[in-house]
């Protein structure tokens, strides 16, 4: 089973390395030290932690409180509207997420380049979520 360095865990979970260290210090998952002193998390231990956190009803423990598991917070980089249809591009870290939606949805969400939004992938659809006004 592979082991993951703290920075790798942070990148996989979309949190900071400090958050991962705090979780480890709080006993949420076990770590070991490499010969050079770096902390690592066993892959099976990380999988257990992620599974339990995702299934937890406690918002302090869970990563998300939504049925859609794949959420990509980012910045809107492009909005194209033609007739009844719109295309919204979102840069979420290294990922470019593109969603096709109605003109009405874009207008209701007031989507425009430069604003923060969240791309939500559920099945084959991408949903764009704007923060509450």
Q: Name all domains of the chain by residue range, CATH numbers in brackets.
A: 3-55 (1.10.1660.10), 70-129 (2.40.50.100)
For the chain, 133 residues long, give each residue's pLDDT as a single digit of tens.
Answer: 688 999 988 887 777 888 889 999 999 999 999 999 999 999 889 888 887 876 766 655 555 444 456 777 888 899 999 999 999 998 887 788 899 999 999 999 999 998 888 888 776 666 788 887 7
Strands in 39-42's sheet, in edge-to-edge order, are 3-5, 39-42, 32-33
DSSP for the chain reads --EEEHHHHHHHHTS-HHHHHHHHHTTSS--EE-TTS-EEEEHHHHHHHHHHHHH-S-TTT-S-SSS--EEEEEEEEEEEEETTEEEEEEEETTEEEEEEEEHHHHHHHT--TT-EEEEEEETTEEEEEPPP-
What pLDDT, on a 0 to 100 scale, did the predictor assign at position 64? 44
Per-residue pLDDT at 63: 53
Q: What is the pLDDT of residue 41?
A: 93
């Amino acid at each position: 089973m592979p082991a993951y360095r703290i920075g790798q865990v942070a990148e996989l979970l979309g949190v900071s390395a400090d958050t991962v260290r705090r979780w480890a210090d709080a006993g949420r998952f076990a770590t070991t030290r490499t010969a050079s002193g770096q902390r690592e998390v066993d892959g099976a231990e990380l999988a257990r932690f992620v599974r339990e956190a995702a299934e937890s009803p406690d918002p302090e423990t869970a990563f998300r409180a939504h049925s859609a598991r794949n959420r990509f917070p980012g910045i809107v980089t492009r909005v194209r509207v033609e007739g009844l249809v719109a295309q919204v591009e979102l840069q979420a870290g290294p990922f470019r997420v593109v969603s096709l939606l109605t003109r009405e949805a874009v207008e209701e969400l007031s989507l425009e380049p430069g604003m923060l939004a969240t791309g939500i992938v559920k099945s084959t659809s991408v949903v764009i979520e704007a923060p509450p006004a």
